[in-house]
Chain A
Amino acid sequence: MLENLCRKMFGRSLWVYHANSGGCNGCDIEVLNVLTPYYDVERFGIKLVGSPRHADVMLCQGPAMRSTARALRRAYEAMPAPKLVFAIGGCACGGGIWHDSYAVLGPVEKVVPVNFYIPGCPPRPEAIIYGVAVAVGLVNKKTAPVQFKQLELPIPCYHPADLRGQGEMVVYEKCEKPWE
């Protein structure tokens, strides 16, 4: 019952903890931009706190680095139980431009489970607010995977089973034409 109550009240006022695990500071500036009076996120009850023990949400910026992965994991484990992790920026979502460096482990989801992704390099302050609004449930997400498929092949198909040798040549017997 207490857990249900916690979950119910969770979305009302998110206290965020801002964890940079090796980013370039671009996303940090955008997150601080979100807290300014222009994009005042305190109207959603979002407040920046200094310790992960006070926080409900961890905003991860930067990839999981070899040197900071353990500290990031400890910060995640220090947060009290209903907790969310936001990966902000291209580094936290996918490893960043230097994803193949020896010092970079990859996206932060290799170290901590990520709930929401906000891609961009850096994401606009509006994009971060949009991500928070998706998480709180104010708006619906706009993206969906796109796939283009070839429904039919415009050439005659052949199968290797229908080939046979004829003297010097190899003759293909059956011609499957899908458009007919």
Chain B
Amino acid sequence: MSLLSKFKEAMIGLKAGRVTLPYPAQSRPVAPSFRGRPIFDANKCIGCAGCANNCPAREILVFDVCQEIRILKYLGRRCTYCGRCAEVCPEKAITMSREFETATDQISDLSQRLELFMSTCQRCGRCFKEPTPLEVLKLKGYRFDDLRHDRWVLRSRAYLESEPVVDDIKIELD
């Protein structure tokens, strides 16, 4: 009797077949709506830092090393792949890839770093990314006033190190 039940069990086992996936040897496709790690495109990015403001994990950092260069850093350690950065990006510079095989022995392998060149508007001093209609603001204005000698003439004396304007403001704390 027990032998018969063992035989029945073996038959059930044979009927089910093999379900184990040959995973690391064969790649396995993901669902079309799957969100993997975000990929940043430096050519499309305008440096508006909307992704950094919207990231719930605070994994996208934006900082300006100088007036002209803005650095956008994606660390990717605690990224939950929620896709809010890609949703908010006005230029669609962030795409959620289908990439999930991101296991690594160095956590810095996940980081992405973008160096963005930001032009300065000569009227208001704000930064903007180059390929825009605002590009003319970069050249016209105060900088190329002396066109004959091709030199810049700046109206403010605050550029001189000997005469800083910051000294005018004195804040006294209690």
Interface residues of A (CB under 8 A from B): 37-40, 43, 90-91, 93-97, 99-100, 107, 109, 115-121, 123-124, 126-131, 133-135, 138-139, 141-150, 153-156, 158, 160, 163, 165, 169-173, 175
Most buried by A among B103, B106, B107, B109: B103
Contact residues in A for B56 (Cβ distance below 8 Å): 97
Q: Is the CB of B28 within 8 A of A171?
A: no
Does B20 touch A at the CB level, under 8 Å? yes
A39 touches B103 (CB 8 A): no
A43 to B25, CA, bound (A): 13
Nearest to A147 among chain B residues (CB) is B113
Which of the residues A127, A146, A160 comes within 8 Å of B101, measured between beta carbons? A127
Closest B residue to A139 by beta carbon equals: B24
Partner of B77, one of A95, A128, A145, A153: A95
Contact of B104 among A37, A126, A143 (CB under 8 A): A143
Within 8 Å of chain A (Cβ to Cβ): is B81? yes
* B residues whose Cβ falls under 8 Å from a Cβ of A: 19-21, 23-24, 28, 30, 37, 40, 42, 56-59, 68-69, 75-81, 99-117, 119, 130, 138, 143, 146, 150-157, 159-161, 163
Give, as a whole number of angstroms, the nearest-CB distance from B15 to chain A.
14
Docked Cα-Cα span, A148 to B69, in Å, equals 12
Given A96-B78, A121-B80, A129-B23, answer yes or no on A148-B102 (Cβ-Cβ < 8 Å).
no
21 contacts between A and B (CB under 8 A): A38-B19, A90-B78, A90-B80, A94-B78, A95-B77, A97-B78, A119-B77, A121-B80, A123-B103, A129-B24, A130-B103, A146-B40, A153-B68, A153-B117, A154-B130, A155-B119, A155-B138, A163-B154, A170-B157, A173-B151, A175-B151
CB–CB A119/B102 < 8 A: yes
Identify which of A119, A124, A135 contacts B76 (C-beta below 8 A): A119
